[in-house]
Structure 1
């Protein structure tokens, strides 16, 4: 099963593989370093929670498919509201910098995720 998931990942376009491995996952996982900041636990729950949902989906589907965009849309959309609210608060500079990076990364990701969610809802259920 793990081999099937890995092979599916490797069938994704190279830029997607690099985006996921070098930017998307590390930036969202970094939320765990800010868990003690204001609303940091909620932020980490949402940032990492969407990725954990995708782990389950990968196991069920034995690979990557467009359904993996759905947890991002459902969980990260309200997370963006939390980030925007936190940016209006008196927070540590390092946390503010991280939030700006997370916001940029996840807004870009959500643009792609909305497109993939629409494709999945329209019947595109193939595994990469």
Structure 2
């Protein structure tokens, strides 16, 4: 994993916000990330695909939904960077608002699926 690519990924607002949420949660559906960040699904999905290509996140499909998590094979140095970054910014805007929006999201995938949450 190239450190320049990792830090370039962190330099983008959407990717950084997704990564902070993923550090704080084991796994999130794309619909949860779009709800929390308040961005359109294609925009968030495009950035998640970039993170996946870099090896920062992995995904899995369940029916129509795609779930993302921090990649389990992430090198220790990169995992430490993500954890320290999340720890340092979690109380700052927009990261605190993202976490609150996610906590308030109705019909999260762990319940019935996120189809109703995105309509």
Q: Note whether the superposition's TM-score is higher than 0.5.
A: no
> Which has the larger helix fraction?
1
Which structure's CA Rg is the greater one?
1
With structure 1 as the length reference, what TM-score do the two structures score?
Answer: 0.28
> Which has the larger strand fraction?
2
